[in-house]
C-alpha cells in the first residue's frame, strides 16, 4: 500500500490522452483502471484508518467516495510495476523527491480478496523491500494454517511453498519458467563468438 506525498495531486492521470497510452503506462485499459480504482480506494482508506488507530498519521478522513488523488496513487503504483523506472526517473515523473518515490515503492501489505474483488483481509504495513511476500503471510497467519481450508486459493509466484504450509480446498499458482540449461547457454556463447569473428573478417 502506498501513502504518497506529492507536491501536486490530481493531475498525472489526466495527462493520459488515449487508450493506447493508458495500456503502455499501466498495462490496463481505462475501464479496467476504473474498476480497480474502486477497490483500491477502499483498501487505501482502510490502511490509513489502521495507521490513525496506531497514532502514526494525523489526517482527517472525513468524506467518502473516490478522490482525484486516489486515481493518481493507483496510477503511480501501476506505472512503476509496468515500466520499472529508476527512482530518479519516477520522482521526476511524479513531481516528488527521490526519497519519497523510494519510500512509497518499498511499503508492503498482505491483501486477500474474494472472487468479487472485495477485500477480506488487510495486513499491517511493513517498510523496506527485504520482506518476502510469503514470509509476511506466514508471520501474520501463524497458528491459523487452516484458515484457507475451505477456499479455492489463487496466488502468485511470490507465495511459492504456500500449499506446503496452509491447507486449502484447491491451490492455483502459476508455473515458474524453467531456467535455460547450461548447455544451451554455452552453445549460444560459442555462436556469438563465431559471429563476432566472422564480422571482423568481413571488415
| Domain segments of the chain as ranges | 13-131, 143-203
Task: Cell numbers for 124, please give them.
Answer: 499491517
Q: Is the pLDDT of residue 84 over 80?
A: yes
pLDDT band at residue 69 under the 50/70/90 scheme: confident
**C-alpha cell, 57:** 498519521
Comparing 54 with 46, which gets the higher pLDDT? Answer: 46
The pLDDT tens digits for 103-153 are 777 777 788 888 877 778 877 777 766 678 888 889 889 888 889 999 999
What is the model's pTM? 0.54
Buried b / exposed e along 134-170 (16+ C-beta atoms within 10 A): bebbbeebeeeeeebeeeebebeeebeebbeebebee
Q: Could you tell me which of 154, 148, 1 has the C-alpha nearest to residue 70? A: 1
Instruction: Quote the pLDDT of residue 62.
Output: 45
Amino acid at each position: 500500500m502506498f501513502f504518497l506525498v506529492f507536491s501536486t495531486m490530481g493531475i498525472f492521470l489526466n495527462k493520459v490522452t488515449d487508450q493506447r497510452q493508458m495500456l503502455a503506462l499501466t498495462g490496463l485499459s481505462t475501464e479496467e483502471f476504473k474498476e480497480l480504482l474502486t477497490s483500491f480506494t477502499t483498501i487505501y482508506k482502510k490502511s490509513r484508518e489502521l495507521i490513525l488507530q496506531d497514532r502514526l498519521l494525523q489526517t482527517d478522513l472525513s468524506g467518502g467516495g473516490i478522490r482525484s488523488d486516489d486515481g493518481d496513487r493507483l496510477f503511480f503504483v501501476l506505472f512503476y510495476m509496468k515500466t520499472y523506472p529508476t527512482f530518479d526517473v519516477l520522482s521526476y515523473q511524479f513531481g516528488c523527491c527521490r526519497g519519497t518515490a523510494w519510500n512509497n515503492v518499498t511499503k508492503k501489505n498482505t491483501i486477500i480478496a474474494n472472487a468479487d474483488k472485495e477485500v477480506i483481509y488487510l495486513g499491517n504495513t511493513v517498510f523496506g523491500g527485504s520482506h518476502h511476500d510469503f514470509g509476511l503471510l506466514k508471520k501474520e497467519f501463524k497458528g491459523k494454517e487452516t484458515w484457507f481450508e475451505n477456499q479455492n486459493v489463487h496466488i502468485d509466484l511470490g507465495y511459492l511453498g504456500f500449499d506446503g504450509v496452509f491447507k486449502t480446498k484447491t491451490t492455483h499458482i502459476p508455473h515458474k519458467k524453467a531456467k535455460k540449461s547450461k548447455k544451451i547457454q554455452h552453445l549460444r556463447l560459442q555462436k556469438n563468438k563465431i559471429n563476432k569473428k566472422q564480422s571482423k573478417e568481413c571488415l
